[in-house]
Amino acid sequence: MNMNESSLYCKPQLSRRRFVGSSLLFSSASLLGGCVARAESDIVLYCALDEVFARPIVAAFERSTENEIGVVAKYDVESTKTVGLVNQIIAEQQSPVCDVFWNNEIMHTVRLQKLGLLKPRNWDVAAGWPSDMIASDGTWCGFAARARVLLVNTDKLPNKADRPTSVMDLADPKWKDNCAMARPLFGTTATHFAVLREKDGHDETIGLLEKIHDNAVILSGNKQVAQAVASGQVAWGLTDTDDAVIEKDNLRKVEIVFPDQQVDQPGAMRIPNTLSILKSASHPIASEQFADYIVSAAIEDRLAMGDSSQLPISRDSKFTPRVMPKDPVRWMKVDFEAAAEDWESWAKELMTIFEE
């Protein structure tokens, strides 16, 4: 391949995967002193969704173009969560690399929106797409969500009447040291309480968090909460559907409760994957094609069928995830853009409460 047919990216840790046939790894960032050769038609994707879920979908997209469009993918790692990719996009804004950002949550996507790094577009989605799942300026689209749920140990709480029904129960002294929550500094738990701050007010939410800190067992993540409930360390905890369903699939004695379903309660929160195209994308036409492919009902169904049992947003979806209950769920109406205001100062406040 000559220099008219390829370009070199000299960025660390960006690997080039072309999923043709056996999904061979053709080159890595460790070659050429960190420079990665790629075809001019390749999209550079930064992806926070777990590679095991995203990679087959990326491969299917490439096949759908008869491999005329390739995807150079950089996947997130557990140690940095989403923040690592977001910070890299911010750091690279003067010399952009990423074309498309696939985030497994939303709050840090909104950070990029507020920094003016994302491209407004008209999203090709089904009629009736919820307004809180598309950016007000069209810079991101939410799809394939996880829900914030209560996971209950049925050995410890065999009677349904005795089980918690609201996120607010985390602050109830009757559950002292017998309920659990992830530290709300990262991921979906951070997003959850940023949303509550926007809905209920700053002081009320800080007061709630202080009570939860003193009342609940605070763990490092949602997975650890689900495992603590399944093992009987605590009677119940607040977690995400993808972590909760793993314990159900492993036949642990647990039940999933979608919280706050009464008419005077706000409903359960769902936190979507988000897709966005960078304003400075080097391959805008191919990026647009990839974006439309990813937010389709077919891809949502594929994610719903997978191990993480994600929740489709599209009304055209044909598959009901196994994590969903028989009864309809009331969903909280969320303004994610308002919830992201003053994120840095809010995060510092939470650090003072939940520092290890």
Q: What is the pLDDT of residues 159-208, one digit of tens each?
A: 999 999 999 999 999 999 999 999 999 889 999 999 999 999 999 999 99
Check whether residue 75 and residue 122 sit in a common domain. yes
Check whether 5 has a pLDDT greater than 80.
Answer: no
Q: Do 15 and 109 have their domain in common?
A: yes
Is residue 315 situated within a structural domain? no
Tokens linked to 247: 């314990």
265 close to 171: Cβ distance less than 8 angstroms:
no
Percent of the chain with pLDDT over 70: 87
> Residue 84 — pLDDT band, cuts 50, 70, 90?
confident
Q: Is residue 6 scored above 70 in pLDDT?
A: no
Mean pLDDT of the 214-219 span = 98
Compute how many other C-beta atoms are within 10 angstroms of the C-beta atom of residue 122: 8
State whether 262 and 345 are in the same domain. Answer: yes
**One domain for residues 140 and 284:** yes
- The answer to whether the beta carbons of residues 43 and 100 sit under 8 Å apart is yes
- Mean pLDDT, rounded, of the chain: 89
Q: How far apart are CA 196 and CA 269, in angstroms?
A: 10
**Residue 294 Cα distances to 1, 51, 123, 238, angstroms:** 30, 15, 11, 29
Q: Per-residue pLDDT tens for 324-339?
A: 999 999 999 999 999 9
Total domains in the chain come to: 2
Residue among 45, 50, 119 at smallest CA distance from 82: 50
Give the domain extent around 340. Answer: 146-269+336-354
Q: What is the per-residue pLDDT across 172-183, written as a single tens digit (0 to 9) for each?
A: 999 999 999 999
Residue 331 resides in a domain: no
In a shared domain, residues 238 and 183:
yes
Are 28 and 105 members of one domain? yes
Query: Whole-model pTM?
Result: 0.86
